[in-house]
Amino acid sequence: MSFKEMFDIISSGGWVMIMLAIIGLLLYSNALDLLLYLCRGNLNLRSAKKWEEWVIHPEESSGRAGDIIRYTQSGAQNVKSVQRRFDEVRFNMLGRVDRRLIFVNTLVATAPLAGLLGTVIGMLGTFGGIATGGRGDTMSKVAGGIHEALLTTQTGLMIALPGVFFALIITRKRVALEAAITRIESLTLTARTAHLEDEVEEEEKEPTTTPAPATEDACGFDHYLPEPV
C-alpha cells in the first residue's frame, strides 16, 4: 500500500481521524518513554545481592540504585532521617510514574470514544444522504457515511487495544519499582540499626573511670570551719 492510498483512507474518515492520530501519537510516545524510564538502570530484584554490599559500602554503588543508596545515607544522622529520605525517593519516582500512567490510561479510554464520535458523524452523513432520496449521488453519500463511521470506529479500537496492554505492562513495572525501593530501604535500615547497636556495645565495653572516694586530710574537716576569732 502506497503512502497516497494510506492518506486517502485516512482522509476519508474526516476530521475525526486527525484527532485519533494525535491521540495515538501522544499515547504511544508517552507509553514507550515511560517503559524506557522503568526499564533503565539496575532497580530490579535480580540485583538485590549487590544492594546488600552497597548499603554497607555506599561509595562502591552505581546506577540508579546507587544514587538512591548514596542519597538516603549521605548525612543521615538517624533511622528516621533515612526513612524520610526514602519517602522522598518514593514520592518523586513513583509519583512521576503515577501521573504519566493516569495520562496514558486517559488516552486509552479516549481513543474509542473519539472513534464513536466519528461513527455518529458518519451515520449522520448516511441519514442525510437517505433524506435526499431521488438524487443521483444518494448512494455515494450513504456509502461514504457508512465508510466514515466504520473507519473511525476501527481506528479508535486499534489505538486503544494495544494501549491497554501497554498500561498493564507499565503497571507491573511500577509495582516492581516500588518493591525494589522497599527492598533497598529494608536493607539500609537493617544495616543502619546494626551499626548503631555496634556503637552502643563498644561504648558499654569502654572502661568507665569512677571518681576516687573523698579522703580526709590531716586536719580532718576542720579546714572547712571558720577560723576562731
- Closest among 171, 182, 226, 185 to 80, alpha carbons compared: 185
**The pLDDT value given to residue 7:** 65
Where do the domains of the chain lie?
Answer: 3-224
Q: Tell whether the model's pLDDT for residue 28 goes beyond 90.
A: yes
- Whether the model clears a pTM of 0.85, i.e. scores above it, the answer is no
For the stretch 102-145, pLDDT in tens is 999 999 999 999 988 888 887 877 777 676 665 556 667 777 77
Exposure string for 35-63, b = 16+ CB within 10 A, e = fewer: eebbeebbbeeebeebbeebbeebeebee
